Amino acid sequence: MADPGAEFPRATIKARPEDWRVNESLGWTFTDSGEHRYLYIEKRNMNTAAVAAELARRYSVRLQDVGYAGLKDKCAITRQWFSIVTPDDAIEEEFEQSQITANDQYFRCLESGRHIRKLRRGEHHHNDFIIRLGCDLNHALPLMPKLAQPFANYFGPQRFGNDNLAAAKRWLVDRQPRRVNKARRGLYLSVARSHLFNLILAAREHQGRLTAPIAGDLQEQLKGSLWGRGRSPFTDQALAIESAAVHGEQALCHGLEMAGVNRGLRSLLAAPSNFSFAQYPAEAILELSFGLPPGAYATVMLQHCFELKDQSR
Protein backbone atom coordinates (compact mmCIF):
# COMPACT_ATOMS: atom_id res chain seq x y z
CA MET A 1 0.00 0.00 0.00
CA ALA A 2 1.44 3.34 -1.05
CA ASP A 3 2.63 5.78 1.58
CA PRO A 4 -0.09 8.48 1.66
CA GLY A 5 2.55 11.11 2.37
CA ALA A 6 4.76 10.22 -0.57
CA GLU A 7 4.49 11.48 -4.13
CA PHE A 8 4.42 8.87 -6.88
CA PRO A 9 4.40 9.31 -10.64
CA ARG A 10 0.98 8.85 -12.17
CA ALA A 11 0.18 5.90 -14.41
CA THR A 12 -2.98 4.88 -16.20
CA ILE A 13 -4.10 1.26 -16.41
CA LYS A 14 -6.80 -0.60 -18.36
CA ALA A 15 -7.36 1.96 -21.09
CA ARG A 16 -8.30 -1.17 -23.08
CA PRO A 17 -8.78 -4.78 -21.99
CA GLU A 18 -5.66 -5.61 -24.04
CA ASP A 19 -3.60 -3.50 -21.61
CA TRP A 20 -4.15 -5.98 -18.76
CA ARG A 21 -3.42 -9.63 -19.53
CA VAL A 22 -3.36 -12.46 -17.00
CA ASN A 23 -2.47 -16.12 -17.60
CA GLU A 24 -3.15 -18.57 -14.78
CA SER A 25 -0.83 -21.57 -14.31
CA LEU A 26 -2.04 -24.55 -12.29
CA GLY A 27 1.41 -26.06 -11.73
CA TRP A 28 0.12 -29.64 -11.71
CA THR A 29 -1.10 -32.18 -14.25
CA PHE A 30 -4.46 -33.84 -14.80
CA THR A 31 -5.24 -37.49 -14.14
CA ASP A 32 -6.98 -37.66 -17.56
CA SER A 33 -9.90 -39.42 -15.87
CA GLY A 34 -12.61 -38.54 -13.37
CA GLU A 35 -15.93 -36.71 -13.30
CA HIS A 36 -14.53 -33.17 -13.61
CA ARG A 37 -14.03 -31.58 -17.02
CA TYR A 38 -11.35 -28.85 -16.96
CA LEU A 39 -11.45 -25.96 -19.44
CA TYR A 40 -8.78 -23.30 -19.98
CA ILE A 41 -10.88 -20.25 -20.80
CA GLU A 42 -9.79 -16.97 -22.34
CA LYS A 43 -12.20 -14.16 -21.56
CA ARG A 44 -12.44 -10.49 -22.46
CA ASN A 45 -14.52 -7.86 -20.64
CA MET A 46 -16.14 -10.57 -18.49
CA ASN A 47 -15.65 -11.36 -14.83
CA THR A 48 -15.03 -14.87 -13.57
CA ALA A 49 -18.49 -15.24 -12.03
CA ALA A 50 -20.17 -14.44 -15.37
CA VAL A 51 -18.16 -17.12 -17.15
CA ALA A 52 -18.94 -19.65 -14.40
CA ALA A 53 -22.66 -18.89 -14.72
CA GLU A 54 -22.52 -19.31 -18.50
CA LEU A 55 -20.69 -22.64 -18.17
CA ALA A 56 -23.30 -23.85 -15.68
CA ARG A 57 -26.03 -22.94 -18.16
CA ARG A 58 -24.36 -24.58 -21.15
CA TYR A 59 -23.55 -27.78 -19.29
CA SER A 60 -26.94 -27.84 -17.49
CA VAL A 61 -25.33 -28.14 -14.04
CA ARG A 62 -25.67 -26.28 -10.77
CA LEU A 63 -23.45 -23.25 -10.28
CA GLN A 64 -21.77 -25.04 -7.35
CA ASP A 65 -20.69 -27.74 -9.82
CA VAL A 66 -18.39 -25.22 -11.50
CA GLY A 67 -15.01 -24.60 -9.88
CA TYR A 68 -12.23 -22.06 -10.41
CA ALA A 69 -9.01 -21.17 -8.61
CA GLY A 70 -9.38 -17.40 -8.41
CA LEU A 71 -11.25 -14.29 -9.52
CA LYS A 72 -9.78 -12.51 -12.53
CA ASP A 73 -10.27 -8.92 -13.67
CA LYS A 74 -13.21 -7.97 -15.87
CA CYS A 75 -11.63 -5.22 -17.97
CA ALA A 76 -8.81 -7.44 -19.19
CA ILE A 77 -7.95 -10.41 -21.33
CA THR A 78 -7.40 -13.26 -18.92
CA ARG A 79 -6.87 -17.00 -19.15
CA GLN A 80 -7.90 -19.27 -16.31
CA TRP A 81 -9.01 -22.82 -15.59
CA PHE A 82 -12.57 -23.87 -14.75
CA SER A 83 -13.82 -27.31 -13.73
CA ILE A 84 -17.33 -28.68 -14.38
CA VAL A 85 -18.92 -31.85 -13.04
CA THR A 86 -19.99 -33.46 -16.31
CA PRO A 87 -19.47 -36.62 -18.37
CA ASP A 88 -19.57 -34.53 -21.56
CA ASP A 89 -16.27 -33.94 -23.39
CA ALA A 90 -17.69 -32.17 -26.41
CA ILE A 91 -19.72 -29.13 -25.36
CA GLU A 92 -16.68 -26.84 -25.33
CA GLU A 93 -16.39 -27.33 -29.11
CA GLU A 94 -19.24 -24.82 -29.29
CA PHE A 95 -17.04 -22.04 -27.93
CA GLU A 96 -13.57 -22.88 -29.21
CA GLN A 97 -14.02 -19.91 -31.55
CA SER A 98 -14.70 -16.59 -29.83
CA GLN A 99 -17.74 -14.53 -30.75
CA ILE A 100 -17.45 -10.89 -29.74
CA THR A 101 -20.74 -9.38 -28.55
CA ALA A 102 -22.00 -5.82 -28.66
CA ASN A 103 -20.29 -5.24 -25.31
CA ASP A 104 -16.88 -6.24 -26.76
CA GLN A 105 -16.85 -9.32 -24.56
CA TYR A 106 -16.23 -12.96 -25.28
CA PHE A 107 -14.94 -16.18 -23.83
CA ARG A 108 -13.46 -19.17 -25.60
CA CYS A 109 -11.95 -22.52 -24.69
CA LEU A 110 -8.23 -22.90 -25.42
CA GLU A 111 -7.50 -26.27 -23.78
CA SER A 112 -9.36 -29.00 -21.93
CA GLY A 113 -8.69 -32.04 -19.78
CA ARG A 114 -10.23 -34.33 -17.20
CA HIS A 115 -9.44 -34.72 -13.50
CA ILE A 116 -10.65 -36.57 -10.40
CA ARG A 117 -11.58 -33.57 -8.27
CA LYS A 118 -13.06 -30.08 -8.43
CA LEU A 119 -10.83 -27.04 -8.87
CA ARG A 120 -10.91 -24.98 -5.68
CA ARG A 121 -9.89 -21.45 -4.74
CA GLY A 122 -6.16 -20.84 -4.47
CA GLU A 123 -5.12 -24.18 -5.98
CA HIS A 124 -3.16 -22.65 -8.86
CA HIS A 125 0.59 -22.12 -8.71
CA HIS A 126 0.85 -18.53 -9.96
CA ASN A 127 -0.48 -15.88 -12.33
CA ASP A 128 1.59 -14.32 -15.14
CA PHE A 129 0.84 -10.68 -15.97
CA ILE A 130 1.53 -8.48 -18.98
CA ILE A 131 0.47 -4.94 -18.08
CA ARG A 132 0.74 -1.78 -20.15
CA LEU A 133 1.03 1.46 -18.16
CA GLY A 134 0.49 4.89 -19.63
CA CYS A 135 3.08 7.06 -17.89
CA ASP A 136 5.95 9.51 -18.07
CA LEU A 137 8.84 7.18 -18.90
CA ASN A 138 11.45 9.55 -17.48
CA HIS A 139 9.82 9.27 -14.05
CA ALA A 140 8.85 5.61 -14.30
CA LEU A 141 12.02 3.93 -15.54
CA PRO A 142 14.15 4.69 -12.44
CA LEU A 143 11.51 2.87 -10.34
CA MET A 144 11.90 -0.48 -12.10
CA PRO A 145 14.45 -1.96 -9.65
CA LYS A 146 12.14 -1.09 -6.74
CA LEU A 147 9.10 -2.51 -8.51
CA ALA A 148 10.86 -5.86 -8.94
CA GLN A 149 11.35 -6.21 -5.18
CA PRO A 150 9.03 -7.90 -2.62
CA PHE A 151 6.09 -5.71 -1.56
CA ALA A 152 3.56 -5.58 1.28
CA ASN A 153 0.96 -8.23 0.46
CA TYR A 154 -2.22 -6.23 1.13
CA PHE A 155 -5.60 -7.34 -0.10
CA GLY A 156 -6.49 -4.89 -2.86
CA PRO A 157 -9.48 -2.53 -2.76
CA GLN A 158 -11.33 -4.69 -5.31
CA ARG A 159 -11.69 -7.32 -2.56
CA PHE A 160 -13.93 -4.95 -0.59
CA GLY A 161 -16.18 -3.52 -3.31
CA ASN A 162 -18.32 -0.48 -2.61
CA ASP A 163 -20.15 -1.57 0.54
CA ASN A 164 -18.98 -5.13 1.23
CA LEU A 165 -17.09 -4.38 4.45
CA ALA A 166 -19.99 -2.43 5.94
CA ALA A 167 -22.39 -5.22 4.94
CA ALA A 168 -20.06 -7.83 6.47
CA LYS A 169 -20.00 -5.90 9.74
CA ARG A 170 -23.78 -5.60 9.79
CA TRP A 171 -24.08 -9.36 9.46
CA LEU A 172 -21.21 -10.47 11.71
CA VAL A 173 -21.56 -7.82 14.42
CA ASP A 174 -25.15 -6.54 14.31
CA ARG A 175 -26.62 -9.84 13.02
CA GLN A 176 -28.64 -7.98 10.42
CA PRO A 177 -29.81 -9.96 8.59
CA ARG A 178 -29.52 -13.08 10.70
CA ARG A 179 -29.43 -15.40 7.69
CA VAL A 180 -27.67 -14.97 4.34
CA ASN A 181 -27.19 -17.36 1.45
CA LYS A 182 -24.02 -19.41 1.04
CA ALA A 183 -22.42 -17.11 -1.52
CA ARG A 184 -23.08 -14.00 0.56
CA ARG A 185 -21.77 -15.73 3.69
CA GLY A 186 -18.52 -16.63 1.94
CA LEU A 187 -18.11 -13.08 0.66
CA TYR A 188 -18.68 -11.49 4.08
CA LEU A 189 -16.25 -13.86 5.83
CA SER A 190 -13.59 -13.22 3.21
CA VAL A 191 -14.02 -9.44 3.31
CA ALA A 192 -13.89 -9.32 7.13
CA ARG A 193 -10.75 -11.47 7.31
CA SER A 194 -9.09 -9.42 4.56
CA HIS A 195 -9.81 -6.19 6.45
CA LEU A 196 -8.30 -7.51 9.68
CA PHE A 197 -5.24 -8.86 7.86
CA ASN A 198 -4.67 -5.46 6.23
CA LEU A 199 -4.78 -3.83 9.67
CA ILE A 200 -2.15 -6.26 10.97
CA LEU A 201 0.04 -5.78 7.91
CA ALA A 202 -0.25 -1.98 8.14
CA ALA A 203 0.82 -2.09 11.79
CA ARG A 204 3.87 -4.21 10.96
CA GLU A 205 4.78 -1.90 8.08
CA HIS A 206 4.29 1.25 10.16
CA GLN A 207 6.62 -0.09 12.85
CA GLY A 208 9.25 -1.13 10.32
CA ARG A 209 8.76 -4.82 11.19
CA LEU A 210 7.91 -6.13 7.76
CA THR A 211 11.07 -7.21 5.99
CA ALA A 212 12.57 -9.53 8.63
CA PRO A 213 11.12 -11.89 11.27
CA ILE A 214 10.65 -10.54 14.79
CA ALA A 215 10.33 -12.21 18.18
CA GLY A 216 7.26 -14.43 18.20
CA ASP A 217 7.03 -15.03 14.45
CA LEU A 218 6.55 -18.56 13.17
CA GLN A 219 9.89 -20.29 12.62
CA GLU A 220 11.38 -17.27 10.90
CA GLN A 221 8.37 -16.97 8.59
CA LEU A 222 6.76 -13.66 7.68
CA LYS A 223 3.07 -14.46 8.12
CA GLY A 224 -0.02 -12.71 9.46
CA SER A 225 -3.35 -14.00 10.74
CA LEU A 226 -6.45 -14.52 8.65
CA TRP A 227 -8.80 -14.22 11.60
CA GLY A 228 -10.92 -17.07 12.88
CA ARG A 229 -11.35 -19.60 15.69
CA GLY A 230 -8.35 -20.80 17.65
CA ARG A 231 -5.47 -19.21 19.52
CA SER A 232 -3.01 -17.06 17.65
CA PRO A 233 0.12 -19.02 16.66
CA PHE A 234 2.19 -15.92 17.38
CA THR A 235 3.85 -14.92 20.65
CA ASP A 236 5.95 -12.12 22.07
CA GLN A 237 6.36 -9.03 19.87
CA ALA A 238 4.50 -10.47 16.87
CA LEU A 239 1.45 -11.23 19.02
CA ALA A 240 1.56 -7.79 20.64
CA ILE A 241 1.51 -6.05 17.24
CA GLU A 242 -1.30 -8.28 15.99
CA SER A 243 -3.45 -7.75 19.10
CA ALA A 244 -2.99 -3.98 19.05
CA ALA A 245 -3.77 -3.79 15.33
CA VAL A 246 -7.22 -5.41 15.68
CA HIS A 247 -8.07 -3.96 19.11
CA GLY A 248 -10.61 -1.57 17.60
CA GLU A 249 -12.33 -4.41 15.73
CA GLN A 250 -12.92 -6.85 18.60
CA ALA A 251 -16.60 -7.22 17.74
CA LEU A 252 -15.71 -8.19 14.17
CA CYS A 253 -13.08 -10.66 15.43
CA HIS A 254 -15.66 -12.22 17.75
CA GLY A 255 -18.20 -12.39 14.92
CA LEU A 256 -15.77 -14.33 12.74
CA GLU A 257 -15.01 -16.75 15.57
CA MET A 258 -18.73 -17.30 16.23
CA ALA A 259 -19.30 -17.88 12.51
CA GLY A 260 -17.10 -20.96 12.81
CA VAL A 261 -14.30 -20.02 10.40
CA ASN A 262 -10.87 -21.34 11.40
CA ARG A 263 -7.85 -19.09 11.74
CA GLY A 264 -5.49 -19.11 8.75
CA LEU A 265 -2.24 -17.49 7.67
CA ARG A 266 -1.16 -15.25 4.80
CA SER A 267 2.30 -14.05 3.77
CA LEU A 268 3.08 -10.49 4.76
CA LEU A 269 5.22 -10.03 1.65
CA ALA A 270 4.73 -11.05 -1.99
CA ALA A 271 7.53 -11.16 -4.52
CA PRO A 272 7.19 -10.79 -8.30
CA SER A 273 8.96 -13.43 -10.37
CA ASN A 274 10.58 -13.14 -13.82
CA PHE A 275 10.17 -9.37 -13.78
CA SER A 276 10.98 -7.55 -17.03
CA PHE A 277 9.86 -4.40 -18.82
CA ALA A 278 9.82 -2.81 -22.23
CA GLN A 279 9.30 0.83 -23.15
CA TYR A 280 7.42 2.36 -26.06
CA PRO A 281 8.33 6.06 -26.07
CA ALA A 282 6.16 7.01 -29.03
CA GLU A 283 3.07 5.88 -27.09
CA ALA A 284 4.36 6.80 -23.59
CA ILE A 285 3.75 3.17 -22.65
CA LEU A 286 5.68 0.97 -20.23
CA GLU A 287 4.94 -2.76 -20.59
CA LEU A 288 5.60 -4.91 -17.52
CA SER A 289 5.85 -8.70 -17.40
CA PHE A 290 5.96 -10.65 -14.14
CA GLY A 291 4.44 -13.48 -12.15
CA LEU A 292 2.71 -13.36 -8.75
CA PRO A 293 1.68 -16.09 -6.31
CA PRO A 294 -2.01 -16.86 -5.68
CA GLY A 295 -3.82 -14.15 -3.74
CA ALA A 296 -1.31 -11.38 -4.49
CA TYR A 297 -2.66 -8.28 -6.25
CA ALA A 298 -0.91 -6.70 -9.22
CA THR A 299 -2.59 -3.37 -8.42
CA VAL A 300 -1.10 -3.43 -4.90
CA MET A 301 2.33 -4.14 -6.39
CA LEU A 302 1.98 -1.20 -8.81
CA GLN A 303 0.76 1.14 -6.06
CA HIS A 304 4.08 0.53 -4.36
CA CYS A 305 5.57 2.86 -7.00
CA PHE A 306 2.75 4.59 -8.87
CA GLU A 307 -0.40 6.62 -8.35
CA LEU A 308 -2.79 4.60 -10.49
CA LYS A 309 -5.70 5.81 -12.56
CA ASP A 310 -7.97 2.95 -13.65
CA GLN A 311 -9.50 4.07 -16.93
CA SER A 312 -12.01 1.23 -16.98
CA ARG A 313 -14.00 2.87 -14.17
243 and 293 in a single domain? The answer is: no
Write out the residue range of the structural domain in which residue 45 sits: 15-129+271-299
Euclidean distance between CA atoms 143 and 228, whole angstroms: 38
Active site residue 73: yes
66 and 164 in a single domain? The answer is: no
- Give domain status of residue 21, yes or no: yes
- Give domain status of residue 137, yes or no: no
116 and 193 in a single domain? The answer is: no
Euclidean distance between CA atoms 233 and 225, whole angstroms: 8
249 and 180 in a single domain? The answer is: yes
The Cα-based distances of 174 to 65, 171, 177, 183 in angstroms read 32, 6, 8, 19
Torsion sign over Cα 213, 216, 220, 221? negative
- Give domain status of residue 48, yes or no: yes
- Give domain status of residue 162, yes or no: yes
35 and 111 in a single domain? The answer is: yes
Residues 6+ apart with CB under 8 A from 310: 12, 13, 14
CATH number at residue 238: 3.30.2340.10
The Cα-based distances of 163 to 138, 197, 251, 297 in angstroms read 38, 18, 18, 20
155 and 260 in a single domain? The answer is: yes
The full DSSP string for 279-291 is EEGGGTEEEEEEE
This prediction has a pTM of 0.92
117 and 163 in a single domain? The answer is: no
| Spatial CA neighbour of 148 closest among 294, 3, 289 | 289
- Total domains in the chain come to 2
Euclidean distance between CA atoms 98 and 288, whole angstroms: 26
159 and 263 in a single domain? The answer is: yes
CATH number at residue 107: 3.30.2350.20
Point out which residues pair with 257 in neighbouring strands: none
- From 19, 32, 65, 73, the catalytic residue: 73
- Give domain status of residue 312, yes or no: no
216 and 230 in a single domain? The answer is: yes
Q: Which of 252, 269, 286 is a domain's end point?
A: 269
- Give domain status of residue 140, yes or no: no
265 and 275 in a single domain? The answer is: no
- Give domain status of residue 118, yes or no: yes
108 and 184 in a single domain? The answer is: no
Residues 6+ apart with CB under 8 A from 3: none
Euclidean distance between CA atoms 16 and 157, whole angstroms: 20
User: pLDDT tens, position by position, for the chain (313 residues)?
Assistant: 555 545 899 999 999 999 999 999 999 999 999 999 999 999 999 999 999 999 999 999 999 999 999 999 999 999 999 999 999 888 888 888 776 776 789 999 999 999 999 999 999 999 999 999 999 999 999 999 999 999 999 999 888 887 899 999 999 999 888 888 888 899 999 999 999 999 999 999 999 999 999 999 998 889 999 999 999 999 999 999 999 999 999 999 999 999 999 999 999 999 999 999 999 999 999 999 999 999 999 999 999 999 999 998 8
- Give domain status of residue 306, yes or no: no
SS (H, E, C) 114-141: EECCCCCCCCCCEEEEEEEEEECHHHHH
184 and 282 in a single domain? The answer is: no
